[in-house]
Structure 1
C-alpha cells in the first residue's frame, strides 16, 4: 500500500515533467543551413584505461537523487552516489567508470567499483539524455539544447553542437540519447529535428525535420537510422544523407525508443501497441496490445521480446508471432527499459522499487526500495553477463 501511495505522488511528478517537456516545443524557427564542408580541427582524445570489472553490480538511478550500485545476488547496496537532485538519465559503464546524467544539470563519472567521483561536467540544464561512450569520447544531450562531446577519461570538453542555432528567444532541449555509428552521432531534438553530427569534430552533417517534438532515441543499424516522433510516426532515414527511407504511422505519439533485431524494428506507441515492422520496408509483421500507453523500450533476447508498460506489467512476447503474456506485475507504472541476463530480468518502477525477476517463472528474486520513481534503465558492471539487443536509451546497449 505504501508503495502504491508513494508511486502515485511520484507518478504525478513524472506526468508534470512530461507536460513541461511538451510545453517548450511550440512554434520554432525555419530549418537552419547546414554548414559547408571543409576542414575542421579534431580534438585530441585521451587514451582510455583498459579495465575489466569483476564486481557483481547492477546500477540504477532514482528520483530520490541517488545512483545505486546493487549486488546482483541479493539487492544489497554496495555503494550509492547522491546528486543534487533527481536522476532520470540511464547510466552507462565504460573504462572502469559509470557515467550518468542528473536533473541538477550535471554529468557524473564515478568509479564503478567504489562510487568515488572521478569528474563532473556541468551543462546549462537538466540532463535526461543517457550518455553514449565510443572510442574514448562521451556524447550526451542536455535540456539546454546542446549536444556535448567529452573526453570520457578526463571529462574535458571536446566540442559542442548547439541546436538552437543562436536563437536566444527559445531553447529546445535534447531529451533523446545519442546513437553512434561509423563516425557519426545521431540524436533527436525537441525542436522536431533529427541531427547527424561528425563524431570527431562536431560538424553538422544533416538534419531531418519531423512534425513533432522528439523524445525517442535513435538507433543506427547498417545504413539506416530509426527514430520515433510525437507526430505519431516511426521514421527510417538513410544514415549518410538523412533522406527518408520510409515512415510508419501509429495512432498516437511515440516516446519509446526503437530496437532492431534480425531484420525487424520494434517500437512502442502511446496507442498501447508494440509494433514489429520489417526494417527494410516498414511493413507491419504484428502488433501486441497492452492495456495502456507504452513509454519504455523493448529488449530482444533470442526469439523473445521483453516489454515494460505503463499498465504496471512486464511482458514476454514471441518475436516471430507477437503472442505474449504477462511475466510480472509491479504496483505502479513501468517507464524504464528492462535489463536481461541469463536468468534474471531487472526493471525499475514508479512504485519506487527496483526488481530482480526470474526470467522463467516471473517470481521476484529480490527487490530494492528507493525513495523515488525509477525511470532510469539499469546496466551491469559485468557487461558480458547482459544478453539481448537494446535500444540506445539503455546503458546496456
Structure 2
C-alpha cells in the first residue's frame, strides 16, 4: 500500500528556517511577526453576526469555513456540531459526529455537508438539520466539498476524489490522484470550472479537470515546479483553491509559483515565483496573492507584470486575500483584518476578530470570517 506523509505547515516552515548546525547543536532562526503599522484615519468594517465554537490546534490548518444560502448562515464546530442561523436567530443545531469535524461547511441543493478526520462525510437537510446520509471515505477530509450538478465532490487525505449523489449519498464515481510521498497537511477544495466540470488541485502541483457527472478526466496540467536538495525543500503542494476567471485559471503553490493558465489552449501564460498555501484573489485585471512569509503581491492577469508588493505584514501568517467592496482584505495571526487599497497596495484600515484568521469568503456582499480560536463572524462595509 502506498503511504503518504502529511507534514504540518508550521513544522515545515520551522524545518526550512534552519540556519546552521554542528554535531552538537542545531540553531533555528527566530522569526518574529512585524508589528502592526500605524494608520492615519483608519477605515473599519461593521460586524453583523458572530458565533463562537471550539478552537482548533494552532499547527493544524483546518478549513472550517462558514457558508450561506438563501439568507441562512451555516456554521461548523470542530467538536462535531453544525448549526443554521437566520440573522442572529438559531434555526437548528445538531451534534453530527462524536469524532469531531475537520472540514466544511458547504451548502447547496438543499443540503449542508461537512467531513471529519475519520473520513466520514455528513449531509444534513438545510431546513431541519436532520441527517440525510453519511458516506465513508478512505482518508481524512481536510477541505470542504463542492456541491454541484447533483453531486457532492470531496477529496480525501489519501488522494482519492469522491462524487456522491447529493440526494441519496450513493457513491457515483471515484478518481485516484497520483501518490506523493510527502505533502503538507492541507488540501485545496474542489472548484467548479463550469456546470459540468470540477477542478481538483493536488500535492504534485497538477490541476485535474473531471466531468462532475461521470468522473471522466478532461484535462491534467502541471502548473508549478519546485527545486531543492531534500524532500521537504521540494514540497510543491497546491493547498489554496484554484480560481477560475473567465478564460484563465489562477493557482498558487507552496515553494512554487503563482501561475495563470489559459483554459482554451491549456498553456501557461505566465508564472512568477511566490510560495503560498492560500487561495489567490482575482478582481478586474489584478491577481492578488498572500505569500508564506507575509507579503501581499498584485500582478496583471494577462502579462504577469508586478503591479505592487506590500511587505509591511511580514511573518504575520496571512490568510487568503479577498476583494470586499472597495477593499482587499486579508487576516493575520492576531485576528486583525487588514483593509488594503487594491490599486496601490497601501494599508488603509483594520478591524479585529479573535484568533488567527483561517478562512475569508465574500458571499452576497458580506465578509465571512473563521478563525483558529473558533470565532465565526460576518462583516459588512460601513
**TM-score using structure 2 length:** 0.72
3-state DSSP of counterpart to 2:288: strand
Match of 2:171 in 1: 204
Label 1:343 to 1:17 Cα distance change in 2 as closer, same or farther (>3 A).
Answer: same
Instruction: Kindly state the Cα deviation for residue 253 of structure 1 after the two structures are TM-superposed.
Output: 1.8
Match of 2:315 in 1: 332
Match of 1:148 in 2: 122
Match of 1:163 in 2: 137
3-state DSSP of counterpart to 1:221: strand
**In 2, Cα distance between the equivalents of 1:119 and 1:237?**
34
Q: Quick check: which one's helix share is greater? A: 1
Does structure 2 retain, via aligned residues, the 8 Å contact 1:234–1:248? Answer: yes
**In 2, Cα distance between the equivalents of 1:176 and 1:273?**
21
**In 1, Cα distance between the equivalents of 2:175 and 2:318?**
27
3-state DSSP of counterpart to 1:375: strand
Label 1:116 to 1:311 Cα distance change in 2 as closer, same or farther (>3 A).
Answer: same
What do the CA deviations read for 1:69-99 (whole angstroms, capped 9, x no partner)? Answer: xxx9734555532213238512112233322
Aligned Cα root-mean-square deviation (Å)? 3.1
**In 1, Cα distance between the equivalents of 2:95 and 2:72?**
14
Match of 2:219 in 1: 246
**In 2, Cα distance between the equivalents of 1:194 and 1:333?**
33
The answer on 1:74 being equivalent to 2:44 is yes
Instruction: Kindly state the Cα deviation for residue 234 of structure 1 after the two structures are TM-superposed.
Output: 1.8
Instruction: Kindly state the Cα deviation for residue 14 of structure 1 after the two structures are TM-superposed.
Output: 6.0
Instruction: Kindly state the Cα deviation for residue 128 of structure 1 after the two structures are TM-superposed.
Output: 3.5
Label 1:273 to 1:126 Cα distance change in 2 as closer, same or farther (>3 A).
Answer: farther
Match of 1:289 among 248, 273, 277: 273
Match of 2:88 among 114, 121, 134: 114
Does structure 2 retain, via aligned residues, the 8 Å contact 1:81–1:115? Answer: no
What does 1:200-279 align with in structure 2 at a 5 Å threshold?
200-210=167-177, 211-212=179-180, 215-222=187-194, 223-249=196-222, 250-251=224-225, 252-279=236-263
Does structure 1 retain, via aligned residues, the 8 Å contact 2:295–2:309? Answer: yes
Match of 2:359 among 371, 376, 383: 376
**In 2, Cα distance between the equivalents of 1:241 and 1:79?**
39
**Aligned residues between the structures:** 313
3-state DSSP of counterpart to 1:15: helix
**In 1, Cα distance between the equivalents of 2:110 and 2:312?**
39
Q: Quick check: which one's strand share is greater? A: 2
Match of 2:146 among 165, 169, 179: 179
**In 1, Cα distance between the equivalents of 2:192 and 2:140?**
21
Instruction: Kindly state the Cα deviation for residue 107 of structure 1 after the two structures are TM-superposed.
Output: 2.5
Label 1:88 to 1:370 Cα distance change in 2 as closer, same or farther (>3 A).
Answer: farther
Instruction: Kindly state the Cα deviation for residue 360 of structure 1 after the two structures are TM-superposed.
Output: 2.9
Unaligned runs of 5+ in 1: 1-11, 20-71, 165-171, 387-394
Does structure 1 retain, via aligned residues, the 8 Å contact 2:325–2:365? Answer: no
**TM-score using structure 1 length:** 0.70
Match of 1:6 in 2: none
Does structure 2 retain, via aligned residues, the 8 Å contact 1:306–1:317? Answer: yes
Label 1:73 to 1:142 Cα distance change in 2 as closer, same or farther (>3 A).
Answer: farther
Does structure 1 retain, via aligned residues, the 8 Å contact 2:109–2:150? Answer: no
Instruction: Kindly state the Cα deviation for residue 320 of structure 1 after the two structures are TM-superposed.
Output: 0.8
Label 1:302 to 1:77 Cα distance change in 2 as closer, same or farther (>3 A).
Answer: closer
Runs of 4+ more than 4 Å apart: 16-19, 76-79
**In 2, Cα distance between the equivalents of 1:126 and 1:268?**
29
Match of 1:131 in 2: 105
